[in-house]
Structure 1
Amino acid sequence: MLDWLQYRKELMGRIGEIGALSPDTLKGYQTLSKAGQQANVLGAKTRELIALAVAVTTRCDGCITVHVAEALRHGASKEEIAEALGVAVALNAGAAMVYSARVMDAVAAHDAH
């Protein structure tokens, strides 16, 4: 398995390099990342649980290591994290069903010609 703590450290170093080369890109990302914090309707823990579910659906290891640390820092339990991941799994299965329907629609379109 991946050494998540070392990976996070290395990732932050590389992102720092990107920030030095393209500061506006990093500033734009930081602005997007902080947008939800301003209203704080959901709360930090809930936002981090959502971030973890999205990280799974987008297959982003960097997102996983960053948001696991933040979720735990904001008091998320293993059980809460597992429940959020269950939502991600269900959505991925649902998306596969939707795209399976699209495939069948494409098949029907080809059959019609």
Structure 2
Amino acid sequence: MTTDTRVTDWDEYSGALRERGKELGQIHPELMKGFGALSRGASSTKHIDAKTREFIALAVAVTTRCQGCIDAHVRKAKALGATKEEIAEALGVAVALNAGAALTYSLHVLDAMDGAGQG
């Protein structure tokens, strides 16, 4: 059994996700309808452009470790003309926030050390 979770063929991966998504839609159509409505709602912004929205989506996809999200939003970003350099800058935000979250939770560890076993 391998623990390697890297996608090696993004087109194959995307196709497989779509097929499984169709299956889930048959099993639980209301779930998929709800997800579709949520996705459409998030896509209908008035104050940021579509490319910026995709940069945000990619940063969130990285922080949540969602390969399917990475696949979908890379495709959308590329279709909107996003460059690797632009995407790299957006991903820098994700890296910084993950580091910030680790720092913040490290402070919680210190709080726990001060409070654990006190009574």
Q: Which residue of 1 aligns with 2:31?
A: 25
Q: What's the TM-score, normalizing by structure 2? A: 0.89
Q: Flag structure 2 segments of 5+ consecutive residues without an equivalent.
A: 1-5
Q: Percent of aligned pairs with the same residue? A: 53
Partner deviation per Cα, 1:31-81 (whole Å, 9 max, x = no partner):
111113323321111111100000000001111111100111111111110
Q: Is 1:87 aligned with 2:87?
A: no
Q: Flag structure 1 segments of 5+ consecutive residues without an equivalent.
A: none
Q: What's the TM-score, normalizing by structure 1? A: 0.94
Q: Which residue of 2 aligns with 1:3?
A: 9
Higher RCO structure (Cα 8 Å, ≥6 apart)? 1
Q: CA RMSD in A?
A: 1.2
Q: Please give the alpha-carbon distance, in whole angstroms, between the structure 2 residues aligned to 1:37 and 1:88.
A: 20
Q: Is 1:112 aligned with 2:118?
A: yes
Task: Say which structure is richer in helix.
Answer: 1
Q: Is 1:40 aligned with 2:40?
A: no
Q: Which residue of 2 aligns with 1:60?
A: 66
Structure 1 residue corresponding to 2:18, chosen from 6, 9, 12: 12
Structure 2 residue corresponding to 1:98, chosen from 66, 79, 104: 104
Matched AA of 1:55: A
Displacement after TM superposition at 1:110 (Å): 1.2
Count of matched residue positions in the alignment of Structure 1 and Structure 2: 113
Runs of 4+ in 1 over 3 A off after TM superposition: none
Displacement after TM superposition at 1:111 (Å): 5.2
